Amino acid sequence: MPDHDLLRSTLREQWHLVPAEISALPGGLLSHGWDVTAGGERFVARLAEPDARQPVEAGLAAAEHLRSTGIEAGEPVRTLGGGLTAETPCGAMAVLRRAPGRILDGRDPIDQQFWGDRLGAVHRTLQTFHHPGLRRWNLLDPDGPHLEVEAWLRTAVVGAITAMTRLTVTDRLTYGVLHGDPAPEIFLVDPATGRAGLLDCGASGTGPLLYDVAAAVVYAGGPETAAELLDGYLAAGPVEEGELHAALPVLLRFRWAVQADWAARRLVTGEGDGNREALRRAQAALMTAADPE
C-alpha cells in the first residue's frame, strides 16, 4: 500500500492533479481506494495489485458503459499520456471523477434497498458488456502454500471449492460480469436528487452473479440482517428468487473462503494483525457453513 507521498507524486505526474485533501476509503478486499480533492473537484483514486491492470481497465470501461446507459458511476479520468491506468511500484492506479452523493450505510434498511437495487441494475446492464480484460471465473487454488498459515484453513477452503463445484454442475446459475467486491462503501445516494450510483465498477471478471450478492450479504452482516438488500436486488437484478434462495448458502461459504484466502496471503507477506482477525471471522463462518460429515 503506497504512502501519501507516492500517491501525491503519481497523481501529479500522471494526471496533473495536485491534491488538497486525501482520505482513505473504508473497506475493500481487492484494492485500496482514496477520496481525493484537487482543483475544487472530488476524485477517487484506486490501486489494485500489479498483475490486475487488465481487470482494472475492464472495470473502467464498464463504468463508462454504465454511464452511457444512465447509471450514475465514477467517470474514468485518463492519464496525461491517454492511458486508463498508471503503473506504480505498488500496482496499477486509476482515477475517476467522483459521482455525487454520500456513501451508503450497509446496516440501514433504506440504504440496503438502494444498494441491492444498484447492484441488480449493474448486473442487468453489464449483461451486454464485453472487454478483453475480463477474467474468467477463477476458483481458489486448493494447493496454495499460504493455506498452511493455519491448520484448519486448507480443509475449509477445499470444502468450499467442492461445494461450489458441485453447485455449478448440478444447478443452472446466472452468469455475467462481476463487480467482485460490492461493499456498501462503493455505492452512493445523492440526497439532492434521490439518485443512487457507485464510485467505480470493479468488473473483476465473469462468473455466477450470486457471488457478488453473497459478498454484499457478508458486508451487510449475514442473511439475517440483509433482507432489504436482497429485496432490492431481486427487484432490479437478473437472478430469479428461486436461484437466489437455493444457491446463496453455497456462495456465502465460497465468499468466506475467498476472504480467508486473502487474509492468509496478507499474513504470509507480513501484513498486520488485522488480517489475523479477518481470518478468525472467516474461520467461524466457514465452520458454521461446513457440510455435516
Q: pLDDT higher for 271 or 148?
A: 148
Q: Answer yes or no: are the C-beta atoms of 278 and 209 closer than 8 Å.
A: no
The residue among 81, 86, 14, 22 whose CA lies nearest residue 48 is: 86
Percentage of the chain modeled with pLDDT above 90: 76
Query: What per-residue confidence (pLDDT) applies to 50?
Result: 75
Mean pLDDT of the chain, nearest integer? 91
**Among the ranges given (71-85, 131-145, 199-213, 263-277), the one the predictor scored with the smallest mean pLDDT:** 263-277
Q: Please, what's the b/e burial string for 190-214 (b: 16 or more CB within 10 A of its CB; e: otherwise)?
A: eeeeebbbbbbbbbbbbbbbbbbbb
φ, ψ for residue 262, nearest 5 deg: -65, -45
Place 55 in a pLDDT band, splitting at 50, 70 and 90: confident
CA nearest neighbour of 251 among 183, 168, 170? 168
Q: How confident is the model at residue 284 (pLDDT cuts 50, 70, 90)?
A: very high
Strand partners, 136: 206
pLDDT digits (tens, 9 = 90+) for 141-200: 999 999 999 999 999 999 999 999 999 999 999 999 999 889 999 999 999 888 999 998
pLDDT band at 32 (very low <50, low <70, confident <90, very high): confident
Instruction: Give the pLDDT of residue 29.
Output: 66
Confidence (pLDDT) at 203:
67
Least confident of 107-116, 135-144, 182-191, 216-225: 135-144
Q: Which residue has the higher pLDDT, 129 or 272?
A: 129
CA 224 to CA 235: how far, in whole Å?
A: 19
Higher pLDDT, 281 or 266: 281
Q: For the whole model, what pTM was predicted? A: 0.92
Q: Which residue has the cell 472530488?
A: 42
Q: Which of 69-78, 126-135, 273-282 has the lowest mean pLDDT?
A: 273-282
Question: Average pLDDT for residues 105-116, to the nearest whole number?
Answer: 96
Per-residue pLDDT band at 293 (split at 50, 70, 90): very low
CB 154 within 8 A of CB 269: no
**Residue 27's CB: how many other CB atoms inside 10 A?**
13
Residue 178 contacts residue 198 (beta carbons within 8 Å): no
| Segment 43-52, tens digit of pLDDT | 999 988 777 8
Kindly indicate the confidence band of residue 230, based on its pLDDT and cuts at 50, 70 and 90. very high
